[in-house]
A and B are shown apart, each in its own frame.
Chain A
Amino acid sequence: DAGITQSPRYKITETGRQVTLMCHQTWSHSYMFWYRQDLGHGLRLIYYSAAADITDKGEVSDGYVVSRSKTENFPLTLESATRSQTSVYFCASSETGTGPPYNEQFFGPGTRLTVL
């Protein structure tokens, strides 16, 4: 199926555990992004990637790790989950990223993560 998918859609974990959220896109977009959405904060950027093996920190990157060995995949890992990382996580992709022309970002359906 074409598009951008995330897995799992729902995840419950415990404090201190490692968790990996998966993101896969079929458009061969160069740029991929990870956001978290929390009530009262809108969306905040965690990490982004301009191409395979090129990643950059976003506004709220502490406690998160990313990799991008293939253009189509952009997994996000919480190395030691904390309760403050309970959130909804969105992956997005775009033909362009951090400068003009500002093309649309296409968003996945999200992963709802609960850390107990």
Chain B
Amino acid sequence: AQSVTQLDSHVSVSEGTPVLLRCNYSSSYSPSLFWYVQHPNKGLQLLLKYTSAATLVKGINGFEAEFKKSETSFHLTKPSAHMSDAAEYFCVVTSDSGNTPLVFGKGTRLSVIA
């Protein structure tokens, strides 16, 4: 069965410093992977997705993620954090299970300090 682990429940960075949100996955096949962002009291919004094309994926708002099959990782990065990046981030992996087509990680809350 597919699973996804977000290694940090909370990450705090200073404005202007790099962001790293870590995600490891397990899958019995070659999955697709996504990062979604959720701002307070809002629905989730897609940041980026990997679907077996280029392993370095660029998303919206300067975020990018690198798919590393050998490490089963899909970490999310951004060179310079903005205050507006403060939100909850979810790593998501596709599944071949009929009742869970997408498997969500438990989320990482990103705080940005001025």
Contacts and interface: CB of A to CB of B under 8 A. Distances in A.
Q: Do A and B come from one complex?
A: yes
Interface of B: 32, 34, 41-46, 49, 51, 90, 94, 98-102, 104-107
A23 to B, nearest CB: 11
A100 B51 contact: yes
Contacts of A43: 44, 90, 104
Contacts of B90: 42-43
12 contacts: A43-B104, A58-B99, A61-B99, A90-B43, A92-B44, A102-B51, A102-B94, A104-B34, A104-B49, A105-B102, A109-B42, A110-B43
Interface string A50-88: 000000111101000000000000000000000000000
Give chain A's interface residue range (CB within 8 Å of chain B).
20 to 34
Nearest to B94: A102
A59 B98 CA distance: 9
A107 B88 CA distance: 15
A92 B101 CA distance: 13
Contact of A45 (B34, B100, B105, B106): B100
Interface of chain B, helix or strand or loop or mixed? loop
A4 B45 CA distance: 12
Given A101-B51, A109-B43, A110-B41, 15 more contacts: A42-B107, A43-B44, A45-B101, A45-B102, A56-B99, A58-B99, A59-B99, A61-B99, A90-B43, A100-B51, A102-B34, A102-B51, A102-B94, A109-B42, A110-B43
Contacts of B44: 43, 90, 92, 105, 107
A45 to B, nearest CB: 6
B98 A98 contact: yes
A105 B34 CA distance: 10
Given A102-B94, A104-B49, A110-B43, A48 B101 contact: yes
A44 interface: yes
